Amino acid sequence: MKIELIFIPSPAIGHLMATVEMAERLINQNNHLSITIIIISFNSKTTSTIASLTTTSNSRIRYEVISGGDQRPTELKATDSHVQHLKPLVRDAVTKLLDPTQPDSPRLAGFVLDMYCTLMIDVANEFGVPSYLYYTSSAGFLGLLLHMQIMYDAEDMSQLEDSETELIVPSLTRPYPLKCLPYLFKSKEWFPFFASQARRFRETKGILVNTIAELEPHALKFLFNGDSDTPPVYSVGPVLHLGKQVGDSLEVKQSEILLWLDEQPAKSVVFLCFGSMGGFSEEQAREMAVALDRSGHRFLWSLRRESPNIIKEPPGEFTNLEEVLPEGFLDRTEGRGKVIGWAPQVVVLASPAIGGFVSHGGWNSTLESLWFGVPMAIWPLYAEQKFNAFEMVEELGLAVEIKKYWRGDLLLGRTEMEIVSAEEIERGIRCLMEQDSEVRKRVKETSEKCYLALMDGGSSQTNLEKFIQDVTENIA
């Protein structure tokens, strides 16, 4: 029997690419499966990405593009109303895909939804098919979200007022300091939105999580054996987008960077890169420069200017680095350091020259660092990254610390980010670049486990097979 799944990612490029990788993994697993990805398009960047996907992807993956029009949300709390607005467009797109007159047309088996598109469960219900969730963050963070949603519904949030409190989180083996809690969980304005999302998660028939069983065994055990409302969880990671960037200008920049890396000794370069939304003030950039100067290590630094509102406007480039960075910094570090804007992160991490990675700690970046066996120092900037830092440093021992507690959150408009001192950054870099550290050894072991998980008989491969089997059995 031929079956069809409808994937609906959120419009962010990172979520879209993760969805495409997951879809390709699924169709490669089962010849009877086809997938339609419904893409919400807002701008030319999304459009160019779609064009590149449609020319290279498997013939059993097709794309339906719907326009977000002028309704694009400019802040997270408007996301639900925005998705509500798009429901009729998605309903019409799916209706057109179904052709009952064709005897060999595939059977609609369900919707696979992004964590920010759970309102589309209602559309799946209208078609009488199950919904599944593709969760692009960690199993540990999923466990935290589900646990705190239960606390919220029981009106048991008073302990969050005490900044010295440690929470007992079932997806962690050790107490979790409230100071490490992402701002979105402490906010009375924001958390109701995320609690609502978590409730919708429980309505799905299963949750695909971008992790591996060997990386987060305790968190996955909780999700498997936790409260009865939690749907089946499938650890299917690491799901990574390892393809090169598209575009002549990007390829030129990539070539320049790789030529420079090829001239550096193995594991000698510390790579600083903070994702598509990571930008810094001039004051913070100067502190980072002082730390790199004093550390003596070779470095590749992807530096961008902070945005006043990250949801409305991405970070930009500094127009004159000599005016921003300390006097003489570029001259003193010439040869052993390179300051750039955009960076091809995956390609850089794959270089033998890279010995450490200073990152914002987004989950995709974390998995990429583990895949390539490059240890991390995590510098959280927004969203769930404070949790990722705690999990990777304290819980799993797979990253080093720059600073234990952080104030500010770029994504939620908390633009008054705490300045991290040059001394703290330098200390973190020196620790990161220790060649015989226990963290480096554990990261190398975990990298091998990531590869094994995707091989025949590996944990993620087995879970993927189980998911497809369950999808087939859940067809009414």
Mean pLDDT to the nearest integer, 37-47: 70
pLDDT at 441 over 70: yes
Q: How many CB atoms lie within 10 A of CB 309?
A: 11
Residues 88 and 209 in one domain: yes
CA angle 25, 53, 388 (to 5 degrees): 55
Range of the domain at 56: 3-241+456-473
Model-level pTM?
A: 0.93
**125-181 pLDDT, tens per residue?**
999 999 999 999 999 999 999 999 999 998 777 667 666 789 999 999 999 999 999
The conformational region for residue 101 under phi > 0 = left, psi -120 to 50 = alpha, else beta, is alpha
pLDDT for the residue 337: 97
228 with 257, same domain? no
Q: What is the pLDDT of residues 337-394, one digit of tens each?
A: 999 998 999 999 999 999 999 999 999 999 999 999 999 999 999 989 999 999 999 9
- pLDDT at residue 53 in the model: 63
Q: Are residues 461 and 327 in the same domain?
A: no
Q: Do residue 266 and residue 216 come from a single domain? A: no
User: pLDDT class for 252, splitting at 50, 70, 90?
Assistant: confident
CA–CA separation, 122 vs 220, rounded Å? 28
Task: Residue 418: give its domain's CATH number.
Answer: 3.40.50.2000
Q: Which two tokens stand for residue 107?
A: 């059977």
- Give per-residue pLDDT as tens, 290-348: 999 999 999 999 999 998 877 778 899 999 999 999 999 999 999 999 999 989 999 99
The whole-chain average pLDDT of the chain stands at: 89
Q: What confidence score (pLDDT) does residue 164 get?
A: 79
Q: Are 136 and 115 in contact (CB under 8 A)?
A: yes
**Is 45 exposed, middle or buried, given 0-12, 13-18 or 19+ CB atoms closer than 10 A?**
exposed
Number of domains the chain contains: 2
Residue 162's pLDDT is 60
Q: What is the pLDDT of residue 133?
A: 98
Do residues 274 and 373 both lie within one domain?
Answer: yes
Residue 457 — pLDDT band, cuts 50, 70, 90? very high
Query: What pLDDT score was predicted for residue 241?
Result: 84
Summarised one tens digit per residue, pLDDT across range 2-35 is: 899 999 998 877 888 899 999 999 999 999 999 9
Query: In 3-state terms, the chain is what percent helix, strand and coil (to 5)?
Result: 45, 15, 40
Which of 228-237, 244-253, 260-269 is the most confident on average?
260-269
Same domain, 87 and 126: yes
Q: What is the mean pLDDT of residues 267-280?
A: 95
Predicted pLDDT at 77: 53
277 shares a domain with 192: no
pLDDT of residue 101 exceeding 90, the answer is: no
27 and 135 belong to one structural domain = yes
Q: Does one domain contain both 75 and 170?
A: yes
154-193 b/e (C-beta count within 10 Å ≥ 16 → b): eeebeebeeeeeebebbbbeeebbbebbbbbbebeebbeb
| Spatial separation of the C-alpha atoms in residues 353 and 419, rounded to whole Å | 29
Distance CA 394, CA 410 (A): 23
The yes-or-no verdict on residue 218 having pLDDT over 80 is yes
